[in-house]
Amino acid sequence: MKTILLHVHDDRGAEARLQAACDIARATGAHIRCVQLTAMPAMMMADAFGGAALAPSVMEELEAHDASVRLRLEARLAREDVSWDWRNWSSDPVPGLLFASRLTDLVILSLAQHMRQDVDDPLNLVADVVLGGRTPVLAMPATARHVDPTGCAIVAWDGSAPAAAALTRATPLLKRAQAVHIVTVEEADKDRFPSTEAAEYLARYGVAVELHALPREGAAIETILAETAVRLGADWMVMGVYGHGRMREMIFGGVTRALLRDTRIPLLLAH
């Protein structure tokens, strides 16, 4: 893992994203690419009367704010023992991040970072970037302040192709974890690619794992995973996600939506 994309935006998750990027960069020797995107306000595109007069002043205000954010963050990064650079251009967040992530190994985003306080939906940016690209996303919950890549990691395993993709893309970090647990929630009606295959794959990278096959017994899968994460003292979790494009509202239902909404630990997501 050599290049980390840090999404720079002045929101409540900014500090957690910065700390996560620095934590992972120090643990892996990776370079941080700071990507700051200035989006054109919707009112400038929609206003047919007076928009031309409004546009320069609004854009100047946005650019001044972004410049202030950049100065603050550059001062912080100068005090950190990490390698970094800065990219800034005008773009909406999703296409800009997908473009910038093409030659990176990890994207760091915040859950619900652009949602209003009264909207309980963590999808938005995280879902679009995970499903729209091939780079894994580290989703930082609102309560997280950092991530410990050398701590305890859980892999949520259901034998699916997305789970396998998440596992392989997380391997550079899993190699640094002091403990790795592969957790499977047993469902009688599912044919699985066995978790022992996942353990053998990681063993070839020198990663020792502990397997957990847990009975469902009528409980929600997300509840079992969350409770297991607490019991094992997990610092972060790896999981695959399904779907593509406009289907995300349906595909991100159930287990993934619940974990994204309620998780207290960072989630490494891949599609």
Q: What is the pLDDT of residues 105-123, one digit of tens each?
A: 999 999 864 444 434 444 5
Same domain assignment for residues 96 and 186: no
The more confident residue out of 91 and 261 is: 91
Same domain assignment for residues 248 and 123: no
Residue where a domain stops, chosen among 89, 115, 140? 140
Closest by CA position to 266, among listed 34, 103, 92, 111 = 111
Mean pLDDT computed over 131-157: 94
Same domain assignment for residues 101 and 11: yes
In a domain, 20, yes or no: yes
The band of 191, judged by pLDDT with boundaries at 50, 70 and 90, is low
Both structure tokens of 120: 């309980």
Burial class (CB in 10 A: 0-12, 13-18, 19+), 71: exposed
Residue 265 has pLDDT above 70, yes or no: yes
What is the distance between the alpha carbons of residues 180 and 8, in angstroms, rounded to a whole number? 30
Residue where a domain stops, chosen among 114, 140, 166? 140
pTM: 0.88
Residue where a domain stops, chosen among 109, 140, 171? 140
Same domain assignment for residues 136 and 165: no
Domain holding 161, by residue range, is 152-270
In a domain, 145, yes or no: no
In a domain, 40, yes or no: yes
Same domain assignment for residues 175 and 87: no
Same domain assignment for residues 157 and 49: no
Same domain assignment for residues 16 and 124: yes
Same domain assignment for residues 107 and 231: no
Same domain assignment for residues 157 and 136: no
Mean pLDDT of the chain: 86
In a domain, 68, yes or no: yes
What is the distance between the alpha carbons of residues 185 and 216, in angstroms, rounded to a whole number? 6
Contact in structure between 126 and 139 (CB atoms under 8 Å) = yes
Q: Which of 1-5, 113-117, 145-149 has the lowest mean pLDDT?
A: 113-117
CATH number at residue 220: 3.40.50.620
Same domain assignment for residues 204 and 113: no
In a domain, 146, yes or no: no
Position 217 scores a pLDDT of: 87
Same domain assignment for residues 188 and 93: no
Q: How many domains does the chain have?
A: 2
φ, ψ at 155 (rounded to 5°): -110, 115
Q: What is the pLDDT of residues 24-82, one digit of tens each?
A: 999 999 999 999 998 766 545 445 555 555 566 777 888 888 999 999 999 999 999 99
The band of 259, judged by pLDDT with boundaries at 50, 70 and 90, is confident
In a domain, 122, yes or no: yes
Whose tokens are 């859950």? That residue is 111
In a domain, 112, yes or no: yes
Kindly give the pairing relationship between strand 152-156 and strand 83-90.
unpaired
CB-facing half-sphere around the CA of 181: CA atoms within 13 A: 21
